[in-house]
Structure 1
Amino acid sequence: MTATRTGPAIGAAGENALYAMLDGVETRWACPENRTAAKGSAARAGGGRKGSPFLPIAPGETVVLAEEQGVSGIVRRIWMTMKDRSPRTLRSLRIDMYWDGSDKAAVSAPLGDFFGTGLGLVVPFQSALFSSPEGRSFNCAVPMPFRTGMKITVTNEGDETMQMFFYDVDYTVGDRHAADVLYFHAHFRREHPTKQRQDYEIVPLLKGRGRFLGANIGVRPDISRYGLSWWGEGECKIYLDGDDDYPSLCSTGTEDYIGTGWEQGTFSNLYQGCHVADKTSMAFCFYRYHVPDPVYFHRDIKVTMQQIGYWDPQTRDKFKESGVRAMTAREGDRIIDFAADAPESIPDYGNFEREDDWSSCAYFYLDCPASSLPELADVKSRIAGLDAR
């Protein structure tokens, strides 16, 4: 008996198949050696012998890294590095991305935070979407489709010239997109400090239809107030499509949300990680990307994280010595004065409300090239207290 082949022909494989050839799609690389990504225009400077591998960016200057008009395509990979990778510099450089001629950027974030480097602390890590192989570079592999054009810029909002800025923007043109293809967005926020019982908003209320892709988050707990106590009992809450007081999705703790447990150490996986966990200076950078577990929204979305800490008998004794006063993280808002209250009135274990320094860069796809979310905060507020410990 002869088997009968059914299904599509081999040549009709999807574009993600390595052996697929997409008709009419062309490859472009924009870099300092070919700023326009034009055909036959790369590596011309210096007689073709590495004559223009980087460019300077003066204070206040905006440089266009890649731009296309009147054509569809997909930004497929972005790589960058620079000589000065200090936290202040990585918060002062701003990356913006515009789709289909929009006047408002879909992506507007500090460069370091956009590439998953929370708090400007560059360390080696690898995830499915972002990486820094040796802690000296920035890589993004998020696909970013556009229909009629795109523009990617970097602005130096710092006080000093960036002398050596290297980059590649790798993309294709001619890709044909279905009507339901969404636009990539990124949104940066910082609260320094957060407010008690007011959950930190990773994504403020966002109208539209799309997919929440995840976020990277940086936390500097207030050690002057709470010492080295654990800060991450708060839950991630995701409000979907008209949710009011209570969300549809909720984690059971900050470290639980990123796939670990019982506080956070250092690790980096494809979709979740904590690539900075400095328990001496108290700096934490972590991420969660909803790739295998998509978070869709059809009308609106809001993503928040509670700021809740934890005490045990050892922490309770330290709070007594330092005179900590804290609000319990339960209904009733009880204030505990660890130094003055009767010891028998204070439980051995408990959760309490905190105020810390939180920042985040959230990623999502949306059905339009610009969102209604607030513009990126000014550089002064982005870098305030960033180096102080």
Structure 2
Amino acid sequence: MDDRSDMILLDDAVSYSISPENPTGEKGKGAMASEGFGAGPARELGKGWKIRPCELIKPGETLTIADIDGSGMIESMWFGGVVDKNFILRIYWDEMAKPGVECPLPDFFAYGWAETMDDQWMKGPFYTLNSSQVVVGPIRGMNCFWKMPFRRHCRMTVENRTERDYMCFYQINYIRTALPENIGYFHAQYRQSKPLRQGEVHTALSGVQGKGKYVGLAMSIGLNGDGRWWGEGEVKIYLDGDQEAPSICYTGTEDYFGGSFNFEVDGAYTTYSTPYLGMHYYRKPDGLYNIQPRFSMYRWHVQDAIRFQSDIRIEIQDLGWTRKDLYLARRDDIFTVCFWYQTLGNTCFPRLPDSRELRIVSE
């Protein structure tokens, strides 16, 4: 399913798209709304002229944005407009009681420091992300291209944990099609250490049971305490019963994300965004109130998925220097989302942090 040459092959799959203009995704049922956010601007044009471009989710409410029966696969998703870490995305596969995806909406798109300031849609932090699986375009147009198959049912919800109305713009593109027997179900799990306790490691993924493929990590970090370089920490991947030592160990944080030697070019951090990996965001301290340097990175294992037969655990060290010859265990703020495919089973997600724990302060 990863071979892009399948675009030239004709098949029997049928395309559908769910949006506020066609909330069920039914054939021939788009742009039929008579009420919605655009009813006023379209009053001279009438039905079919962008009457319902978004759904309103009130504080404390959860909206089901997709409810699909049958065998199929989500091929892409788009969300636009206001973003906040307290808008929570969940996806449930084949009528499972627990979600396979549970994540703050912006973090799902490797956008851990994203926030709209005071409901001013055109303001607030923005940075472009250009990759094969996730693209974020001006301004905060969040696109996902992970393939997400399901055999019997898919349900997708968005919860509004904020104290303001959420105008949710979205598009869910999927196909109905037969699937091979050996499909894996897409999963995404959010974790945060805010801050990490000094001398401990950040656990990015645990509790996974089943056979699968680990396919990606999005990570954001905000630096606390002593300065100097912060990314000496190793990324350790424990597979199929590994306990004391991992099967796979990357030699440094920036190394895992495809960089080298501190992401530094001529005395400055240098951002980059490529199809499979990048360090796409760096915010400098402003010398006054915003004193925490902030970074966001991603690594998609599209070309080198890591297989596991029964379980997987991922840990990340938070490691810097006290001086040139002595490491320093740091205590930074770390947010991660791991992405993987697996058989449906008893994978255990941790408790999602509450709204106060998730909140970020930008100014």
Find the counterpart in structure 2 of residue 275 from structure 1. Answer: 280
Residue 288 (1) aligns with residue 299 (2):
yes
- 1:388 deviates by 5.8
Find the counterpart in structure 1 of residue 336 from structure 2. Answer: 360
Q: Report the AA paired with residue 246 of structure 2.
A: P
**Unaligned regions of 5+ residues in structure 2, if any?**
35-46, 115-124, 264-269, 286-291
Structure 1 Cα separation of the partners of residues 262 and 283 of structure 2: 12
Structure 1 Cα separation of the partners of residues 310 and 75 of structure 2: 28
Find the counterpart in structure 2 of residue 53 from structure 1. Answer: 53
- 1:150 deviates by 0.3
CA contact (8 A) 2:62 2:158 kept: yes
**Unaligned regions of 5+ residues in structure 1, if any?**
1-13, 313-347
Q: Counterparts in 2 of 1:61-72, with a 5 A limit?
A: 61-69=61-69, 71-72=70-71
Find the counterpart in structure 2 of residue 142 from structure 1. Answer: 146
Residue 371 (1) aligns with residue 339 (2):
no
- 1:370 deviates by 6.1
**Residue 45 of structure 1: SS of its match in structure 2?**
coil
State the number of aligned residues.
Answer: 327
Q: Percent identity?
A: 32
Structure 1 Cα separation of the partners of residues 345 and 133 of structure 2: 21
CA contact (8 A) 2:257 2:299 kept: yes
- 1:369 deviates by 6.2
Find the counterpart in structure 2 of residue 34 from structure 1. Answer: 22
**Residue 151 of structure 1: SS of its match in structure 2?**
strand
CA contact (8 A) 2:209 2:345 kept: no
Find the counterpart in structure 1 of residue 288 from structure 2. Answer: none
Find the counterpart in structure 1 of residue 236 from structure 2. Answer: 237
Q: Report the AA paired with residue 221 of structure 1.
A: L
- 1:171 deviates by 0.2
Q: CA deviation digits over 1:121-176, x for unaligned, max 9?
A: 541111111111224210000000000010111110111111x3211000001x21
- 1:116 deviates by 1.3
Find the counterpart in structure 2 of residue 165 from structure 1. Answer: 168
Q: Counterparts in 2 of 1:55-94, with a 5 A limit?
A: 55-69=55-69, 71-82=70-81, 84-85=82-83, 90-94=84-88
- 1:17 deviates by 2.0
- 1:243 deviates by 0.9
- 1:181 deviates by 0.4
CA contact (8 A) 2:207 2:348 kept: no
Q: Relative to total residues, which structure has the larger helix share, 1 or 2?
A: 1
- 1:375 deviates by 3.6
Structure 2 Cα separation of the partners of residues 277 and 218 of structure 1: 10
- 1:192 deviates by 1.0
Q: CA deviation digits over 1:182-208, x for unaligned, max 9?
A: 000000011111123321111024221
- 1:278 deviates by 2.2
- 1:48 deviates by 1.0
Find the counterpart in structure 2 of residue 5 from structure 1. Answer: none
- 1:376 deviates by 2.1
Find the counterpart in structure 2 of residue 334 from structure 1. Answer: none
Q: Counterparts in 2 of 1:1-389, with a 5 A limit?
A: 16-23=5-12, 25-46=13-34, 47-69=47-69, 71-82=70-81, 84-85=82-83, 90-120=84-114, 122-162=126-166, 164-173=167-176, 175-222=177-224, 225-226=225-226, 228-264=227-263, 265-280=270-285, 281-312=292-323, 348-368=324-344, 371-383=347-359, 386-387=360-361
CA contact (8 A) 1:230 1:311 kept: no
CA contact (8 A) 1:116 1:131 kept: no
- 1:21 deviates by 1.8
Q: How big is the alpha-carbon RMSD for the aligned residues of Structure 1 and Structure 2? A: 1.6
Structure 1 Cα separation of the partners of residues 314 and 255 of structure 2: 16
**Residue 7 of structure 2: SS of its match in structure 1?**
coil
**Residue 18 of structure 1: SS of its match in structure 2?**
helix
CA contact (8 A) 1:220 1:282 kept: yes
**Residue 372 of structure 1: SS of its match in structure 2?**
coil
Structure 1 Cα separation of the partners of residues 104 and 339 of structure 2: 13
CA contact (8 A) 1:106 1:370 kept: no
